[in-house]
Amino acid sequence: MPIKVQSGLPAKGILENENIFVMDEYRAMHQDIRPLQICILNLMPVKQDTELQLLRVLSNTPLHIDVSFMKMNSHVSLNTPIHHLNRFYNTFNELRNRRFDGLIITGAPVEQIPFEEVDYWPELCEIMEWTKDHVTSTFHICWGAQAGLYYHYGMEKVMLPEKLFGVFEHKVMNRKIPLVRGFDDYFYIPHSRHTAVRSEEIHACSDLTVLAESEEAGVFLCMTEGGKQIFIMGHPEYDRYTLHNEYIRDKEKGLPIKIPKNYYPEDDDTKKPALQWRSHSNDLYSNWLNYYVYQVTPYEL
């Protein structure tokens, strides 16, 4: 799938080396096609890593996508160079008059902080309200999913006894829904979080349909009718070494961290981790773009 990004975005060269078709603004201007307008609200600290991961999984359908990046106006990012943010990102105020076919709200390393104490929480609430009228389908990831469930349905997050960390098995619960079309009965997805939303609360909500769940990690995937809001509790976009890098980082900081489950062969962190979730991750994003964005979005936004 051709992905349109701004010229000079560092992820563009990496993706091209992986034989992924990425075009810049000049080439896109000469194509007679209405691309899907996808916005990524990137709340992660090292934004370049998340850009690369998400662009990689968005590249697996024949659809033409025009990607924009949004940053919070009410938060100063300390782990991404300011010149990168100024060149490739827009604030919500700069984008609020636009309409998007899809919006991705990423996770964020603030899960142990109460929602109302996150410095950009009021702005994020405004964005989530704005999505009701300006976005065809919103895709929430990890903390972004917890924030969405809290804002839209009042579901509180709860602290876990220890960090949920590793690659966990999930079972498809409702395979008639297109979002999980092509999934195996059981599949693996990475998780890395200290909090959760109670599965019983999600199941009890009449507005939500649970599509995949794990005995260890709880509900992984749920959505509203028609896919207007989709909530993903794990990190299907992670690449092979993301959990490894988090594990080494926490060890070096002296934080209490166990070896990620079902990740290293023989639980040996000197061995190459097995990549066992990529195909289902690609299916998930492709199904979202096809069935809940492309098939229902109007030609004229």
The string of pLDDT tens digits covering residues 84-107 is: 888 999 999 999 999 999 999 999
Is it the case that residue 259 has pLDDT exceeding 80?
yes
Is it the case that residue 20 has pLDDT exceeding 80?
no
Torsion of CA 73, 78, 83, 88, to 10 degrees: -50
- CB atoms inside a 10 Å sphere around CB 78: 7
Sign for the CA dihedral angle at 127, 133, 135, 136 comes to positive
Alpha-carbon distance of 41 to 269, in angstroms, equals 32
Sign for the CA dihedral angle at 295, 188, 193, 263 comes to negative
Decide: 81 and 164 in contact? Cβ < 8 Å. Answer: no
Torsion of CA 123, 84, 192, 199, to 10 degrees: 30
Is it the case that residue 1 has pLDDT exceeding 50?
no
Is it the case that residue 201 has pLDDT exceeding 70?
yes
pLDDT given at position 30: 42
The catalytic residues are 142, 235, 237
Closest residue by Cα to residue 209 from 192, 224, 196, 189: 224
The per-residue pLDDT of the chain, averaged, comes to 90
What's the mean pLDDT in 118-139?
Answer: 97
Is it the case that residue 298 has pLDDT exceeding 80?
no
